[in-house]
Structure 1
Amino acid sequence: MPLGRKASAAILITALAAAFWAGSEMQKAAYLDQCLDLGGGRNPGNHPICVVEKATAPLQLGPIVITARGVVGGEFRDDPDGQTLVELRLATDVAAALAAFTKASVGGTLDIRVDGNLVRSVNIAEGIEGDRFVIALDRDEAESLAQGLGLDGL
């Protein structure tokens, strides 16, 4: 039996070493996929050029992140107070998530962020129903939102 335990231990150690090696190779591959080398080595002068995805979503309503994929359409209207009213029509899955969140959060607050910047924090009086809603924004914020959501023709 001692030989069986030693063999099992050796197999376990070998498997762990192989898993560690595979993990490090995957991490290296991910790094190489993100970093571009223009100078002939992996890190020329230790200054790689790395591709980083945009970290902020065009629109965030509380925990609900809304990207171009989640918006079916929209339109702008000018408010007499000088604000721009942005009416968005959401995809079914995003509208359902927003409805569920707002219904569960009645009485709480909803932070509205455009490009990661807090533009307004509102009290939730009732759940948002349907696939349309309107946000009042400054013109610059509305244009930034339209661009981020791919609604440039508005």
Structure 2
Amino acid sequence: MLKKNLMGGLQVLAVAALAFWAGMQFQKIRYDDICLDMGGGSNPGNHPICVMERSDDGFWIGPVRITPASVIAIDRSDASSSTSQISIKLNEPAAQALREYTERHVGQDLEVRVDGGVIRRVRIAEAIGAAFTLPDLSPEDATTILRMLSPQT
């Protein structure tokens, strides 16, 4: 009886060890699939380049995604039948993220994107705060931005 229990215990232990090893191998394969090692080893200097999925859906100012939840106020005004402008006021977390990014990148280009397409490219002259205006937009782009950022009621 003792021999039978011992054999059963060893079999359970062997299955558990095999399952653990298989799980580790699966994780390693997943890691290798998303991380490109530029130095020839698994983690040379622990500096892999990882491919991260990025969603371009929505409204982006540089790397900062603006959502309806981050907008306090939004207003559209049409200068003419061919140009519009949107004035936006952000809540503090979104404003801080945008301010920090633009402070670090003064003098560089900033892209304004809608669903992955660049609608505006500007040079950053100074940090953008909580309130700003996007001038000279096409009426279609202005309508899209207004629809994307207006609070859902």
Q: Same fold (TM over 0.5)?
A: yes
CA RMSD of aligned residues (A): 3.2
Aligned to 1:109: 109
Aligned to 2:134: 135
1:46-67 CA deviation, whole Å, 9 max, x = no partner?
xxxxxxxxx5433111111111
Aligned to 1:73: 73
Q: Which runs of 5+ in 2 are unaligned?
A: 1-9, 28-54
- What is the TM-score normalised by the length of structure 2? 0.63
1:7-28 CA deviation, whole Å, 9 max, x = no partner?
8x8343233446789x9xxxxx
Q: Secondary structure at the match of 2:126?
A: coil
Matched to 1:134, the amino acid is: T
1:14 aligns with 2:19: yes
Larger radius of gyration between Structure 1 and Structure 2: 2
- Distance in 1 (CA, whole Å) between partners of 2:62 and 2:23 is 43
Displacement over 4 Å in runs of 4+: 17-21
Aligned to 1:47: none
- What is the TM-score normalised by the length of structure 1? 0.62
1:148 aligns with 2:144: no
Q: Secondary structure at the match of 2:89?
A: strand
Tell me the number of residue pairs that the alignment of Structure 1 and Structure 2 aligns: 115
